[in-house]
Structure 1
């Protein structure tokens, strides 16, 4: 286990990096310094060829209760406070490896943003979600205003953000925010199963696929075709593609190495 200072723990096993938000006494609410540590952990994972898939989860009964700003100096500039927070969110969005949120309990405010910033969201039946910002007299941050309309449509995003109501895991799944709901005691095993499948995949193709899909709502169709062509020009030159075709011919499981 690699321990990153404060509330961010990173464990590695068989190509899977598991990040645990570890402030259970505060329902894993993250201080500004904790977000900086999360950014460093994500940057380290992004640069590692050994880390092939990522799981993000919380300790105790909550996933993440959002940002903990209790230790922020009252007259501190908002931009200065948000800079390290946004850097962590940006690093999660740009992470080349596929990332799974294993949502074990409430994911509210910035915690909901972190969950939705992952590529797959596996929720325990005890999980819940809320855009709680408005109930704190705040507007959405940590990427929620960008993520929500793309995931659920504009009017549903407005309902979630303007009312700030807590929704269940089942309601989140019905809206398309959750990939799968499982019993709480099988959450990490289920997330690990997904992570193993992703870790066994071709890293370069997976990273390029994430880039293409993340750009889908801001890219015109013709530009998307060009980007797909450019991505596959890279893929065609990889040893992983040669391995994929060889494995198909030989009727065996391919072994991808990320090159």
Structure 2
């Protein structure tokens, strides 16, 4: 998915991703919805994969800071700032060709999202500014992960909702924290607070919320002093084993999740994490 890009080509291309580029080559990538915390829906999900492809293809940047906006990193579920869902959720299995192609498209974006992040060839600083309860592998693939004191990590989008945690969660948590801790977090829906995440080895520093980005910029400016090829080749060095892990596990994990989703497919936004049993009737609330 990665091709040669330049900042001017993607700077204003995405409604949910704000980009700024400093004179010393630091790219600031901020997730948001209409200036507030990111609302996680199909568009923001799919566009994130494309946005990271653009970032990975930009050979003129030296460091990436990736963060969210406001209270959450990405803990809002398909609700607009006025509290209204962008579309009526459909709680049903999706039979036939329509369901097959829709699920395949989502699986395709899932895989590309993960690999496009890993294809970013400059040091990546993740500043997790609040709760992160879906696709936590994205910030955790950063080389330096900072978290605000009120941040936590959780996977509510898979096993607690009757789905297989196969789109990266099963890889990143075992890779960073060990297989037993990873399985426990994914099976129980545990909220892993920022300080405990640091103890587990997933987070490097925990900071007050109002100091988080200051620290990210401080580190980024220091890193940007190094020669460009040193920065690029160091990132490649650090991501090599993680790329192997994702190559080994991502495709079959996504396949298992996708196959099981034919039975339970929450299409659309506005769904609470634990609002119904997996076998409830369509439109059950």
CA contact (8 A) 2:62 2:231 kept: no
**Structure 1: tracts of 5 or more residues without a match:** 220-259
Shift, 1:66, TM fit: 7.5
2:152 equivalent to 1:128: yes
Shift, 1:64, TM fit: 1.1
Shift, 1:146, TM fit: 1.4
Shift, 1:83, TM fit: 1.4
CA distance in 2, matches of 1:207, 1:142: 26
What's the counterpart of residue 141 of structure 2? Answer: 117
CA contact (8 A) 2:149 2:206 kept: yes
CA contact (8 A) 1:7 1:30 kept: no
Per-residue displacement from partner, 1:190-243 (whole Å, max 9, x unpaired)? Answer: 011111122222332332233333333787xxxxxxxxxxxxxxxxxxxxxxxx
CA distance in 1, matches of 2:148, 2:127: 8
Shift, 1:36, TM fit: 3.1
Change (3 A) 1:178 1:24: farther
Per-residue displacement from partner, 1:104-161 (whole Å, max 9, x unpaired)? Answer: 1001121x12111211110111111112222111222442211111101111111111
2:228 equivalent to 1:203: yes
CA contact (8 A) 2:48 2:113 kept: yes
CA distance in 1, matches of 2:166, 2:218: 31
Change (3 A) 1:10 1:199: same
Shift, 1:68, TM fit: 4.7
Structure number with the bigger relative contact order (C-alpha 8 A, sep ≥ 6) is 2
2:72 equivalent to 1:48: no
Change (3 A) 1:140 1:182: same
CA distance in 1, matches of 2:51, 2:161: 29
| Equivalences for residues 1-259 of structure 1 within 5 A | 2-14=11-23, 15-23=25-33, 27-65=37-75, 68=78, 75=94, 76-77=99-100, 78-110=103-135, 112-132=136-156, 133-216=158-241
Q: Give the RMSD, CA atoms, in angstroms.
A: 2.6
**Structure 2: tracts of 5 or more residues without a match:** 1-7, 80-85, 245-285
Write 1 or 2 for the structure with the bigger share of helix: 1
Change (3 A) 1:214 1:49: closer
Shift, 1:81, TM fit: 1.6
CA contact (8 A) 2:57 2:120 kept: no
- Number of aligned positions between the proteins: 218
CA distance in 1, matches of 2:211, 2:194: 15
Change (3 A) 1:67 1:150: farther
TM-score, normalised via structure 1 length: 0.75
Greater shift in the superposed pair: 41-50 or 193-202:
41-50
Per-residue displacement from partner, 1:36-89 (whole Å, max 9, x unpaired)? Answer: 322332222222233111111111100012775975876333222221233122
Change (3 A) 1:50 1:131: same
- Which 4+ runs in 1 deviate beyond 6 A? none
Aligned partner of residue 150 in structure 2, secondary structure: coil
TM-score, normalised via structure 2 length: 0.69
